[in-house]
Structure 1
């Protein structure tokens, strides 16, 4: 367990957006609980609120009503600057687009995260050790446009975990990859999550990727249901 705690809890979440045609209900869920160190995959059809939920867990937005708690911190009640600070120090983010900075090398992209998290005391040593462990050391001096899609995404995972976050949030991290590269990326992510004891919440459309998590949660029509990794979703069970 991380010092600040790394359980993830969401309760009574509602997200609504006013539009000229009326109110859009983007998300509604009663309860989500993820134990510290657990990995959970969230699945569901497009438009059901998966990415909206992940954004709330990350503190990128606040719900219309309800609470999101990471460890002992109710991040949904924090003001924007406090949420940014908490996210930088306690969370690692991985998206379908790797978002690597094109003018920085692999080791510079990864090392920059330590500075953002204000943990740059031994950045060179920590980056080198992580790249070695993840099999990325041979790529350390390359720029992003000199990498394959799978390599870029593995570097994005390295950047997300270098500061040993309490929680890793991943939004379709393998969505643009072929099956072989997707497998390598998810291997890198799961191995890293377990090595640092982080909690992982992963959004994916791919059942084979979802089965790598400890638990699968199906999000359908703004209602959360849960299933064991190899099972079909069971309505009204979390």
Structure 2
């Protein structure tokens, strides 16, 4: 996949912090950005530079790019993408184990504390959590390593109205408290209205 940085949607993303993006094509645009997050950064753009937390990584080697994205970027997907056989705390501990030094027990304890702070039962398997609990767990996992940027792809898309409002409130408030930037792709105008700035992708679809 090759996408030019001349694309106005992606260019505007590099210039803004918190943002919700309603309108058609949101999932496609998110995948473009997430592609750059997960793969060789120099393969994700035809021109220009890609910077993460002030580091120019357009030509970074895969191993270096992987380390940078683990340290600086967190992701929340629509369905949470949790490991169903693990508990809520264990799902978060896995993220900590990949990025932070220390033994297993301290990570489990930190994960337990983090997940209980958002009202999720730490020892319940992810497969047995409600939709709202899964999304709150996914949010905690994304923020567990203190990233500078959080990407959220339709984080409330599968939730009922009451749960949507609660999860959206927690998402925006927690990211703001951590001092991170937030990029949200959503078709829900109620969620989009919470952002500092919005961009309607319908204006950029071909």
Instruction: Report if TM-score (shorter chain) is over 0.5.
Output: yes
**Greater share of residues in strand:** 1
2:186 paired with 1:207: no
User: What are structure 1's unaligned runs of at least 5 residues?
Assistant: 1-13, 17-26, 224-238
2:23 corresponding residue in structure 1: 44
**Closer, same or farther in 2 for the Cα pair 1:132/1:218, shift >3 Å?**
same
How far apart, CA to CA, are the structure 1 residues paired with 2:111 and 2:153?
24
Runs of 4+ in 1 over 6 A off after TM superposition: none
Query: Where do 1:1-238 residues align within 5 Å?
Result: 15=3, 28-29=7-8, 31-32=11-12, 33-34=14-15, 38-46=17-25, 49-55=28-34, 58-60=37-39, 62-120=44-102, 122-136=106-120, 139-220=121-202, 222=204
Instruction: Check whether the contact 1:48–1:221 (CA below 8 A) recurs between aligned residues.
Output: no
TM-score, scaled relative to structure 2: 0.83
How far apart, CA to CA, are the structure 2 residues paired with 1:79 and 1:221?
35
**Closer, same or farther in 2 for the Cα pair 1:201/1:57, shift >3 Å?**
farther
Q: CA deviation at 1:204?
A: 0.8
Aligned residues: 197
How far apart, CA to CA, are the structure 2 residues paired with 1:132 and 1:102?
18
Q: CA deviation at 1:117?
A: 1.4
User: What are structure 2's unaligned runs of at least 5 residues?
Assistant: none
Instruction: Check whether the contact 1:172–1:203 (CA below 8 A) recurs between aligned residues.
Output: yes
Instruction: Check whether the contact 1:43–1:219 (CA below 8 A) recurs between aligned residues.
Output: yes
Q: CA deviation at 1:202?
A: 0.9
Q: CA deviation at 1:132?
A: 3.0
What's the secondary structure of 1:215's corresponding residue?
Answer: coil
C-alpha offsets along residues 23-82 of structure 1, whole Å, 9 cap, x if unaligned? xxxx822732445xx421123313784224432563546123333222311233323222
Q: CA deviation at 1:143?
A: 0.6
TM-score, scaled relative to structure 1: 0.73
RMSD of aligned Cα (Å): 2.6
Give the structure, 1 or 2, with the largest relative contact order (CA under 8 Å, sep 6 or more). 2
Higher gyration radius (CA): 1
How far apart, CA to CA, are the structure 1 residues paired with 2:15 and 2:175?
14
How far apart, CA to CA, are the structure 2 residues paired with 1:211 and 1:47?
16
